[in-house]
Chain A
Amino acid sequence: MKMFDNIKQSLIWKSMFRRDYKDTPRNRALAIFGNVFMHLHPVKVREGAVKLRYTWGMGGISLFSFIILTVTGFLLMFYYRPSVDQAYWDIKDLEFQVPYGIFLRSLHRWAGHFMVIVVWLHMFRVFMTGSYKSPRQFNWAIGVILLVLTMLLSFTGYLLPWDQLGLWAIEVGTNMAAGTPLLGFEGPFSEYLGITPYNDVRFAILGGSTVGGNALLRSYVWHCVALPLVAVVLMAVHFWRVRKDGGISGPHS
C-alpha cells in the first residue's frame, strides 16, 4: 500500500492523472478540462438533444464511419501500391489472398458509401431543424466544407481500385472539371486566359491530360494524406464550435 502511495505521489503518475477519483463536481469539471477530446465535446448535453427522433444521431454516426474508414484505410495501405501495373492486382490479392482482406476492403467501401449518405442526412436534419441559424452560421459553413471533403474523399477513392468503373468515373468527373468556366479548357471564357488541355484544372487534377499513372498517384495522395488531414482539423473545429455555440441544438434553443 505504501508503495502504491509512493507511485501515486510520483511525478510521472501525477503528470498523467491530474485529478482524484472522488465524484465531486470539481473532479468532473477537471475531467473535461484536462482532456482534449472531452474538451471538444459540449460540457453538458440537454436531454432533448440526445433523442434519436430529433438528431437522428447522424453527426455521431458520421464520425464513427470516419473512424472505421481511417482504421481500415490505414490497414489497406499496407497491401496497396498506387501504380498502374500493381494497383488492380493488389486489390485482387486483397480479395483472394490477404487474410480477412476482402472483409477489410468491403468494410472500407461500405463505410465510405455509408458516410456519404449519413453526412447528407446530417445536413438535411440540420437544415430542417433550423440549426444553421444564429449563432451557428459559422459551424454550418464548416459543415458545408466537410460535406465537400467527404465527397472528394469518395471521388478520389473511386479511382484507386484501377478498374473500369473507377477509370470511367474519373474520366467523366474530370471531363466535367474541364467544363469549368475560365479554368477548364472546354469551359466558357477559358480562351481569354490561354487555357489549353495542358494547363487547365483537369490537368491539375489528373497530372496529365488523360487518366493514367499520375492521376492514380494523385488520387492516392489526396485520398490517404491531404483530405483526411484537412477533414480531421475541420472536424475538431466543428465539434468545438458545437460546444461554443451552446451545445447540440434542441427543440427549445
Chain B
Amino acid sequence: MKKGSAYTPYLFAFLSLLLLGLAGWVIWKDEVQLRPWKAYQQEYKELKGAKLQAEYDVAKKEFDSNGNAEKLEALQARLQAAEEIFQSRGVQEKYTGLVGQLDIIEASLAQNQKKLQETRGKYLEAEYLYIRGQKEQDKEVMQQLQGEIEGLTENRNVLLERKSALQEDIGELTNEFEAIRAEIRSLHKGLDEKLMAIESNDRMSLEIRQIHIRDAGKADRCITCHAGIESSYRLSDRQPLTRHPAGFIFLENHPVSEYGCTFCHQGQGRATTSPDKAHGWVDHWTEPMHQGSMTQSSCISCHGDIEGLRGAEFISKGSKLIKKYGCYGCHMIPGYEDLREVGPVLAEVGTKINYSWAVSWLQDPKTYYETARMPKFYLSKEEAESIADYLFSMTGTTRRDTLYADEDIDWDLAEKGKAIWRQSRCNICHTTNGKGGNHTEIHAPDLSKVGSKVTREWLFNWIKDPKKYFPETKMPRYRFSDQELAALVEYIVSEFQDWDFEPEYEDPVPMKAESIEKGKALVQKYGCFGCHKVKGMEEMQDIAPQLRRAGVTFARSGEMEEKIGAELSSIGSKPVELLDFGKVKDKIPHDRLSYVKQKLRAPRSFRDDLRMPDYRLGEEELGSISSVLLGFTDASRPARFVVPSYAEIEEFEGGTESHILSGDFEKLERDIKCLNCHKIGNHGYNYAPDLSVAGSKLQEEWLRRFLKQPDIIRPMLKQMPRFNLDKQDGMIQGNLESSEIETVMNFFRSDLVTDDIPAFLPDLDDGAVDQVLEGKRLYDEKGCVACHQIGNAGGSVGPNLSNVGGRLTAGFIFKYLEDPQRYNPQNVEPKYGFTERERIYLARYLMSLKLE
C-alpha cells in the first residue's frame, strides 16, 4: 500500500464488522424483538399441550381401570383367532377365487357401461337427425339403437346382481374380523380423539393470526397474542392468555370470527409488534383501547336501545343519568333529541314558592334536599336574587314569603290528611325525611321541607289537577274531593316544614326593574330554558343571545338554533388535540376520557368564563355518563351489525304491533299515569307488573275487583295506590264514574291480549289421574313453596298464590310455566323444563286455589 493512501485494511475490517453487526441486529430485531407474540403463542401452546396431555392421562387411567384393557385384550385375541381362520388355506383359496370373480365382473361392468354411453350418444345423434330431416331411415336407426340400449341395460342389471351376490359371499368370510376391528376402534375412539388433539396442538405453528372483516376493511390480529380468548379451557389467568370475561354474553352474541375485536374494544387491531401499539396506547392513534366497563361505550354504535341490554349495565346507568339530569337540554346528544325538559314549568312560579326559598335554591339546590337534580351554577346571592326577581316578575311585582306558623294549622284536618297521604301512597315516588322514594326510575322531588317552599293555595290547585300547571308532569291526578284536598294540603304544610327556614320578606317588597332585567340576562346566559319552560323563552336555544341583541348576525342561520352547550354527537371521535385542557393542562392526562370526566367532575375548571353548572356527580356516575358519551363516534360499522331500537322498529312497522294507548283509556292514563309504574310494550317503567298481556293473563272478575280495591299481592311498598276509580266502593269519595273501570276493562280486553296464551287448557286423556292432586304433588316436589306463599306457608320472593286461581287465567299459567322469562326477561323464576302434561297439572292445581 502506497504511503498517503486514504484507505487502510483496518478501516475496511472495522467497517465490515460493523456492517455484519448491523445485519445481525436487523435479523434479531425483526425475528425476536418485533415479534413478541412468538413467546406468547409458545407459552399458550405448551399450556394447552400440558392440559391435553393431562386430560389424556386421566382418560387413559379411567379406560384402564374400567376393565377396558382386559376387554381390549380379549378382543385382540378374538381378532387374531378370526384372522387365523381367514388365513387358513381353504378359506384363503375360496377368498382369492371370489375376489378374482369379482374383478372379472367389475371389468365387464365397466365395459358394458362404456358401450351403453356410446350407444346413448349415437341414439341422441340419430334422434337429432330424425327431428331435423324426418327421414324414415333415421327412425329405423333410432329403433335399432333403442333395442341395443335395452339389451345393454339388462346386461348391466344382471352383472350388478352377480356383483352384489359375490360381495355378500366375500363378506361372509371377512365380516367377523371386520366387526371385531370396528369394536376395537369404537372402544378406543375417545382416547384416539384426545391423542389427535395433542398431535394437532403439537403441529400448530407460531404465526400471526387475524380476523378479516371484509366489508369493514378491518384486520384484527389481537388473537395472535390473545391465543386463548375464545378457548373452552381456562389455561392461564395472566394476560394475554386469559379467556374473554363473561364470554357467554359477549362472545356468544358476537362471535370473534364474525365481529373481530376492535369494533368493541378499539385499539390498533393490526399492530403486532408491542402491546402498547396493539392497544393503541401510542401518540396519534385516535382510538385507544377501552378498558373494563368503558368498553360498553361501543355498544352504542350498533345497539339502538342500551338500557336493559345485557352486559351493558354501566352505560345503561349512564343513559339513565343523562335522562335524569337532562343533559340533552343544553347539548345535542343523538338519541335523546325528543325528550321533554326535566325541570318544571316556570311560568307561574311566582304564585308557587317563597322568595327566600327561591334565592337559596338558586344558589345551591342541594341545601334544600340532597337528591335535588338541579345543578349548582355558582351564582352570587345578588345574581340569585336577580333571577328570582325576573321569575317573580312574570306573575307579580313584589318579593314575598309565606310561612305557616303553628297557630295557622288546623290540626284535626291535618290528621285526616295524614290518612289520605298514606292511602294514596305518595311515598312510592316522593321521599319524606328519608322514607320512601323507592320508585327510583322516575324522579319526584323530596317533600321533607315542602311546607316551607310552596303556598297552600298553589299546593291545593296542584294536587287537584297537576297538568293544569305543568302539562308534562309525571304526577297523577288523584280523584280527591275539595275537602280531601284541603285535608291533605293541611297535613303536608304542617308535617313537612323546614324548621331552620327564615323568611326575609314577610311583607311584600317591590322589586327593582334593573334587577329584573339583569335576572333575565342571567337566565339567557346560563340557558335555564334548557331544562325549564320559561315564559317568553320557549323557543330560545341560541348560543349567544347577547351577541344577537348587539346586532351580530350569523353566517349560517343554523347556528341560531344550536343548543347552549357543545354538540356531543361525535365527542367519542373528537381529536384530543382539539380539546381545550386550559388550566388543568398539567393536572390531568391528555386523553378523551380524562377530559370528559374532568368536565363532568368540575365543569368550570378549564377556564374562568365557562357556563356549565356543577352536578356534583360521584366518580362512578360520571364514569358511566362518560362511557355513554364516548360511544358517540364517527366510526362506521357494517349495516348488518345494527340492532335498531324499539322506537325505530315501532316507527318502521307503523305502530301496528306495539302497544300504543288509544281512546278513552289513553285519556284516563294521562290522568292517573298507569305507566309511571307499569309497563305496556316498550312504554312505561318496571316498578309494577308488566301489563302487556294482562288481558290474557288476568281474570276479568278479579281485575274489576282489584281496580276497585287493590289488595296485597306484592310487598307493601310496591302496593298499588288507591285511585278512587269507583266512588261506591272506595273509602274516599272520588269524583269519578264507575264507567272508568269499564274503560280500563275494555282496553285490557281488546289491546292487552295475545294469541300466544290459550283461552283454555288443552284436554288431557288420562282418565283416572286426579290432575289437581298431581299438580299439588309437583308443586311440593319442585319446591315452589320456597318462594311462593299459599295460605300462611311459603316464601315471599314471588307473588302470594293463595288466590291465584281467582286472579290468573289457566292459559297464562300454562304458558308461563313453559318459560317464565317469556313475558318479562327480568323475571327471576327459574326455567324448570316442565313437560306439557306437568304444566297442565300445575295449572289445574293452581286454578283450584281461590279465596272467597
Contact = CB atoms under 8 A, between A and B. Distances in A.
Contact of A93 (B29, B217, B270): B270
Contact of A96 (B6, B29, B217, B272): B272
Given A85-B217, A89-B219, A100 B26 contact: yes
A164 B285 CA distance: 11
A103 interface: yes
Interface in A38-75: 50-52
Contacts of A129: none
B273 A103 contact: no
A97 B273 CA distance: 9
Interface string A78-97: 00000001000100110111
B271 interface: yes
Contacts of A50: 6
Helix, strand, loop or mixed for chain A's interface? Answer: helix
Nearest to A93: B270
Given A92-B271, A93-B270, A99 B221 contact: no
Contact of B208 (A92, A95, A97): A97
B6 A52 contact: yes
A136 B273 CA distance: 52
Interface string B265-286: 0001011110001000000100
Contact of A103 (B30, B217, B277, B284): B30
Contact of A102 (B34, B221, B270, B284): B34
A93 B217 CA distance: 13
A100 B217 contact: no
Interface centre among A95, A96, A99, A100 (most CB of B within 10 A): A96
A93 B210 CA distance: 12
A15 to B, nearest CB: 36
Contacts, number: 35
A102 B221 CA distance: 17
A92 B26 contact: no
Contacts of B29: 103
Contacts of A93: 219, 270
A115 B29 CA distance: 25
A102 B30 contact: yes
A96 B273 contact: yes
B33 to A, nearest CB: 11
A97 B272 contact: yes
B36 to A, nearest CB: 12
A96 B34 CA distance: 8
A89 B271 CA distance: 10
Contacts of A92: 268, 270-271
A5 B519 CA distance: 113
Given A50-B6, A51-B6, A89 B270 contact: yes
B30 A96 contact: no
A122 B30 CA distance: 34
Nearest to A97: B208
Contacts of A89: 217, 219, 270
Contacts of A96: 208, 221, 270-273, 277
Contacts of B26: 100, 103
Contact of A99 (B30, B268, B270): B30
22 contacts: A51-B6, A52-B6, A89-B217, A89-B270, A92-B270, A92-B271, A93-B270, A95-B271, A95-B273, A96-B208, A96-B221, A96-B271, A96-B272, A96-B273, A97-B270, A97-B272, A99-B30, A100-B26, A102-B34, A102-B273, A103-B29, A164-B284
Interface of A: 50-52, 85, 89, 92-93, 95-97, 99-100, 102-103, 164
